[in-house]
Amino acid sequence: MKIGIPREIMTGEARIALTPSACKTLINTGHTLYLEKQAGCGSGYSDRDYERVGSHIVDTAERLYEASRLIIKVKQPLAQDISYLREHHTLFSYLHLAADLSLVQHLCDIGVSAIPFESIVDALGTLPLLAPMSQVAGRIATMRGASLLFKNRGGRGILLGGVDGSDSGQVVVLGAGVAGSHAVAVAVALGAKVDVLDLDENKLQLLALKYPLIGTHLSTPETIERLCIDADLVIGAVLLAGRRAPVVLKRSVVEQMHEGSVIVDIAIDQGGCVEGIQATSSERLSYVEHGVILSAVPNMPATVARTASQSLSSAILPYVQALSDSELAVSSQSIALQRAMAIDKGRVVDKVLLDEMGAKKARTSL
Ligand SMILES: NC(=O)c1ccc[n+]([C@@H]2O[C@H](COP(=O)([O-])OP(=O)(O)OC[C@H]3O[C@@H](n4cnc5c(N)ncnc54)[C@H](O)[C@@H]3O)[C@@H](O)[C@H]2O)c1
């Protein structure tokens, strides 16, 4: 299989989908690896590192797409990437299609096949390719929130963990999944007071066992309002797999929060779980509305590109192998890939995505 790895062009994106050692594994099993010049630099991997394991360095993105059939990327394609995609390409990357139906249309018009990383479900029912980046994003969310609370960043002037004779900061985490539980881990380690909400009682119970001092709550609009109004930091980490993120934090609640409090919406890549929130970026981390600081970066793990690339690369490698060896024996990975396929040669085949497209059409025709 001719596998191409383009350089990521999203603002602040420094990750690469496969490390040199993962490329070596693929080359040793007979595949050809093309890498766009300097694609690994942001993660500390030089072109020479990739050449040493037998990858071919290609000068331009255009030539890379021409040479390759399977495109492995980190983030969804932007306009320039889309202009190089052709019908013979299979795209394997984070895509978040339910949050961007115009991207679905572009990919269908070209006739490509597309498999989102975040749609891969393993035999245990977990999301093994979303999980590593959710772990990173959850941890960063608390650290980012903690620093935005500093007075010189516009925040309330609160040290989350507090010190002798002072109150600790109050953190509310919406969603007790992978990102949410990692956000809780850092908040607890810092010494903050933590409340976490979810619809899934089992996840809440597990967190309560691990961190006996936190508050766990079934998620209802009333509980969200009661807890968030007084929070110093709210972290949005909800997900309904394959769907646009549910809007769980209403503008009317944000308006009642303290001036200088902070919201970090991790779920922005799926459209955001805070009503009306706008995506921010590594260049413009946050903005202020109703006196509250809002941060919603869709590629948070890019901040720690080397850690994130290593973790992502080892998670996706078995699936890249299964995709590349498609004529070989059926494996658990190849079954998961088939089930996760969102677009097959220009045709949307994912039922949840079709459902989201139907719902959006119904809303806009009202
Ligand atoms: N911004 C980034 O850089 C970045 C990076 C990684 C992941 N993410 C996003 O983070 C989000 C969370 O991912 P995850 O891997 O933790 O997912 P997950 O499935 O592990 O957890 C999501 C949790 O949200 C809960 N939930 C759903 N609706 C809810 C509601 N109304 N109230 C409370 N809880 C609710 C679910 O029960 C689940 O426990 C996703 O949107 C994912 O795409 C963003």
Q: Domain extents for the chain?
A: 2-127+305-364, 131-297
Q: Does residue 260 sit in helix, strand or coil? A: coil
CB 65 within 8 A of CB 44: no
Contact 135 CB / ligand 1 (< 6 Å) = no
Give residue-wise pLDDT tens across range 204-224: 999 999 999 999 999 999 999
Which CATH code, of 3.40.50.720, 3.30.70.3420, 3.40.50.10490, 3.30.1360.120, is assigned to 131-297? Answer: 3.40.50.720
Q: Which of 191, 192, 173 is nearest to 183 (CA)?
A: 173
pLDDT in tens, the chain (366 residues): 999 999 999 999 999 999 999 999 999 999 999 999 999 999 999 999 999 999 999 999 999 999 999 999 999 999 999 999 999 999 999 999 999 999 999 999 999 999 999 999 999 999 999 999 999 999 999 999 999 999 999 999 999 999 999 999 999 999 999 999 999 999 999 999 999 999 999 999 999 999 999 999 999 999 999 999 999 999 999 999 999 999 999 999 999 999 999 999 999 999 999 999 999 999 999 999 999 999 999 999 999 999 999 999 999 999 999 999 865 557 888 899 999 999 999 999 999 999 999 987 777 776
Which is it for strands 233-236 and 170-174: parallel, antiparallel or unpaired?
parallel
Could you write out the DSSP letters of every residue in 64-132?
Answer: HHHH-SEEE-SSPP-HHHHHH--TT-EEEE---GGG-HHHHHHHHHHT-EEEEGGG---TTS--TTTHH
Q: How far is the CA of 200 from the centre of ligand 1 (A)?
A: 12
Give residue-wise pLDDT tens across range 242-281: 999 999 999 999 999 999 999 999 999 999 999 999 999 9
164 is catalytic: no
Q: How far is the CA of 158 from the centre of ligand 1 (A)?
A: 26
Contact 248 CB / ligand 1 (< 6 Å) = yes
**CATH C-level class of 2-127+305-364:** alpha beta
Q: Does residue 171 sit in helix, strand or coil? A: strand
Contact 268 CB / ligand 1 (< 6 Å) = yes
Q: Do domains 2-127+305-364 and 131-297 have the same CATH topology?
A: yes
269 is catalytic: yes
Contact 239 CB / ligand 1 (< 6 Å) = yes
